[in-house]
Chain A
């Protein structure tokens, strides 16, 4: 199959390209950007005039809900959603049922994903058996099965000693440990940011120090062990400041933020909107602003969707009883573009936050349009508006705080390994 993508504005942050160009694809690989090979005969031509052609998006946190949680979503539904969102590489956290703590489970997941022939799936293995925070998993085995990193998923159920040893062991093999900084004891059963809104609504709260205490522990252990750490979904201004300082010290720390958190704050909970029940909780407006500037100055490397499809019934209960999470993978691109427009930064910088930067954290070959690379591309119309409606979301989850809202920037085509997996 030979594909020619004609006349698109090619944005490839990794290669410093932002110009109108043609992209040539043969047998699933990019063979040229700009001038094509001599006598190139395309089987298929995509007219990308007026559209942006960029690397397929790389999403660092996508819950596919398999194995075990298919009532919320299935691999089929969520891979379709990923394609519709322009995502061609995704990392899935290990909080499935059972958790991804055995090589067999990981291989099965990778096989299932491969057979669907859409986005590349990179499982994050469980750091401890059953995610219980007690005994280490066989990280080297899990790595061979396909795990690219190890995490505790949403809860940092780790005593300080286990955390230290887990990071030491992981760093023996040069594996990166992904941790979402939240002290379980302090967060307790909180469901909202410890601020004005939780006070007004009488919701059990998660104070900022749940994040900063965990962060200081992680940073100090990283310093002591030299382990590579990726911090997942940071949420507070104080947290951003701590990460900035740690990075200035030269520690091998990377960091991401969920795209909902750079747009929303505790105020959006309004009258108990359970679609705004997220983990970590939406914090104050000054926290949101700090996340935005942390992203600009590079303290935060990447933006993820933190896609978490939840079945409708689990949201149709009082806020505190509702299941946390939002479906988001189909909104990721538009929401990143919205951020870029609001703070007036170049499109290429925004695109890097969902392509080349997360690819580096994953340590996989993705997120760029280099010659010879897999033809994973996202082609989008930066001007087109669309309305977020439950009926048009391909994800099985319809739960998003942006339901009913108008967004700008629409994916027109997604190519994975040179196959058109989505066409609008």
Chain B
């Protein structure tokens, strides 16, 4: 099976998923991001690395946070970035996704950042564009959200230094979560010896253990002695069907409270990809507490996205 993300020389051509990417490539992104953290903290937060490059934020699904962080990252690299909120424009006029991409390619795009509600959308675009164009997946359906996972890895490394002695728990709606899938692949590739998922059975995909994780349905058992707790967002619509009875019952069993967090290691960190549902998957006391690194995640997210863009543009 050819890895569609790598070019002939084994270098990163697109960033579509963390699955199948060798550890050295993941680490190179994290290392490059380290050098950009300094840039983002300076008075003049700009480097000329991507000057003259045209980057398109192609968002077929609404998003504020991810789109904004990509935009900031591109601007700090001096690229020209154009935001297209396609959910509200050409798609409603009947233009297909690939036609939109073709049109933008004709405007000499160098890079596409793609968000779409369907799994595989970024792969399809990557397969379709001219070879000099790079595609970054900013979230496709339930499949992947690699830059989120990479910024999570970056944050974990910042606080825990080494991946090789960690226990990490991912808590919540694994079934529908592209973030969880990308986290799992990144964690296992980077050598985390024990990755746990904690979820009710209705929110777990079939055979998830094949991805290399240990499954827990009891959060108290699952959090025992972990170093990192990765919380997932619970979409409100999950309560509409028969997957969950109520937000209250979910919070009682799978919401992160100080009491439950106390079962983890005393220096465990708590992360969340945002936006948070306080009182549904996470208690405010934890979200704002001293073990929370949720805001640093956001800061690092810009450096990590700068790193991904810079590496792709250089390959």
Interface residues of A (CB under 8 A from B): 194-196, 198-205, 207, 270-272, 313, 316-321
Contacts and interface: CB of A to CB of B under 8 A. Distances in A.
Interface in B203-258: 205-208, 210-211
B4 A205 contact: no
Contact of B206 (A201, A205, A320, A321): A205
B121 A195 contact: no
Interface stretch (B141-149, B159-167, B186-194, B294-302): B141-149
A207 B202 CA distance: 13
A272 B205 CA distance: 18
A320 B1 CA distance: 21
Contact of A321 (B118, B123, B128): B118
Contacts of B76: none
Given A200-B211, A202-B143, A316 B96 contact: yes
18 contacts: A195-B206, A199-B206, A200-B211, A202-B143, A202-B178, A202-B181, A203-B142, A205-B206, A270-B1, A271-B120, A313-B96, A317-B96, A318-B116, A318-B141, A320-B118, A320-B119, A320-B141, A321-B118
A319 B119 CA distance: 7
Given A196-B206, A204-B142, 12 more contacts: A195-B207, A200-B211, A202-B143, A203-B119, A271-B1, A271-B123, A272-B120, A316-B98, A318-B120, A318-B124, A318-B140, A320-B141
A283 B121 CA distance: 22
Nearest to A321: B118
Of the listed residues A207, A313, A320, the one surrounded by the most CB atoms of chain B closer than 10 A to its CB is A320
Contacts of A272: 119-120, 123-124
A34 B218 CA distance: 75
Interface of B: 1, 4, 19, 96-98, 116, 118-121, 123-124, 128, 140-144, 178, 181, 205-208, 210-211
Contacts, number: 75
B205 A199 contact: yes
B12 to A, nearest CB: 16
Nearest to B143: A202
Contacts of B142: 202-204
A207 B206 contact: yes
Nearest to B177: A202
Contacts of B205: 198-199, 202, 205
Of the listed residues B19, B98, B121, B124, the one surrounded by the most CB atoms of chain A closer than 10 A to its CB is B124
Given A318-B124, A319-B119, A202 B144 contact: yes
Nearest to B1: A270
Given A271-B120, A318-B120, A319-B120, A199 B96 contact: no
Contacts of A200: 19, 181, 210-211
A320 B120 contact: yes
B147 to A, nearest CB: 16
B119 A202 contact: yes
B121 A318 contact: yes
Nearest to B5: A271
Contact of A196 (B116, B120, B123, B210): B210
A384 to B, nearest CB: 29
Contact of B207 (A199, A271, A316, A318): A199
A405 to B, nearest CB: 15
Contacts of A194: 206
Of the listed residues A316, A317, A318, the one surrounded by the most CB atoms of chain B closer than 10 A to its CB is A318
A137 B142 CA distance: 41
Nearest to A188: B241
B187 to A, nearest CB: 15
A205 B141 CA distance: 13
Contacts of A201: 119-120, 143
A316 B124 contact: yes
Contact of A318 (B119, B144, B178): B119
A313 B97 CA distance: 11
B103 to A, nearest CB: 15
A235 B169 CA distance: 36
Contacts of A203: 119-120, 141-143
A201 B4 CA distance: 14
A184 to B, nearest CB: 16
B225 to A, nearest CB: 27
A162 to B, nearest CB: 24
A233 to B, nearest CB: 22
Of the listed residues A196, A199, A317, the one surrounded by the most CB atoms of chain B closer than 10 A to its CB is A199
A320 B121 CA distance: 9
Of the listed residues A202, A272, A319, the one surrounded by the most CB atoms of chain B closer than 10 A to its CB is A202
Contacts of B116: 318
A368 B98 CA distance: 49
A317 B119 CA distance: 11
Contact of A198 (B123, B178, B206, B211): B206
Of the listed residues A204, A207, A272, the one surrounded by the most CB atoms of chain B closer than 10 A to its CB is A272
